[in-house]
Structure 1
Amino acid sequence: MNVKVFLLSLCLVSGAAFAANEPNPNFVYFTGGQTPGNWEWVLQDPDNWWKPIPDSGGESGSGKLVVVEAGDTTFPGALRFSWTKSEHGVNATISGTTLDLSALADKAELMLALKVNSSVPKTVNLKIACGENCEAQVNIADNLKQAEPNTWFALPLALDCFTANGLDAGKINWPVSIGTSGALDLDIAEISLSAMAEGDEGCVPNP
């Protein structure tokens, strides 16, 4: 999947088109250091496949993924995710409820505000799940490599890129899960759903 990388301006963060003054958990999954509504961060590795952590951070069962507050002055509340190379993939997942986004499947994109602090391994999978044996993922490693190091940027991922690969947008229970078995260090300031940019056809051209 070929997606674009945009330099991030202040107006993009916390500006999801579907969000109101208070973050709407249907469309905003992490912002200002918090997971709104019933969402929470869960770390997953072979030593503990389901380890919820507070928004302030924690570490996976094996310690191969450590999450701490980034201490960023531009985007207070941003988290730093540090993966150590491991034999098996380790994931940082947002979970907590089930969404029906079927009406937006060809109109919206997942937007992540990121900063890459290290070299990038060959595989960094971003997954959206819709229950047992129902998921779709894309490898965003090349997109992370294209970004200017240590610089905030926005990474948009059209929702139909996932539905085209088997995602059921009517029962999303993990709006985002990022995982790798390589070494990676990156900051995340926001994860939200936004209206697809004007003129963008996503992965599946729409009439």
Structure 2
Amino acid sequence: MTTAARPTFEPARGGRGKGEGDLSQLSKQYSSRDLPSHTKIKYRQTTQDAPEEVRNRDFRRELEERERAAAREKNRDRPTREHTTSSSVSKKPRLDQIPAANLDADDPLTDEDEDEDFEEESDDDDTAALLAELEKIKKERAEEQARKEQEQKAEEERIRMENILSGNPLLNLTGPSQPQANFKVKRRYFTLMSWIYIADWEFYTKRSHKNICSK
């Protein structure tokens, strides 16, 4: 069994010297963690944005240099993209590059620029038609939604009025379509005294009948 759970692992002992027998006296021992620490202030070094270093820096010049470097890097990547775009455009067969053997005399010769303009105009017309159709569909859906909401509100109002009129039984007594209300309490059972009264009445009736017959 462990002995570390004892209330006093190292019990206090009274000595024989002066003041050693007084257990209420404060101890003069202290832990190393109670000693003062961090007694010196840490200053920023040269590479840690010290005040002298920051005071002598020209932040505006550094910012302008970084902006120029970013602009040079951006301009360096631009010719590559332009070359890629031009190469992709050059892949399209031009009319003057098609050999004469592949041309038919009956085919009309059209300019490439005219074809491109015609394609752009047709694309614009298709886009405008699609946008108009989309707006028409949105408008129809909005009208349908508004109509459904109006019908739902009218139905809810009708149900509410019916509940108000039919909720009070006093208002339904004279209604033409409502049946006549009956507030009579139906007798569902007989009490014990009622059964006794019926039995006595039957016994008295039979006895009277016998007396009449005997006479």
TM-score, normalised with respect to structure 1: 0.14
Richer in helix (by share): 2
Richer in strand (by share): 1
TM-score, normalised with respect to structure 2: 0.14
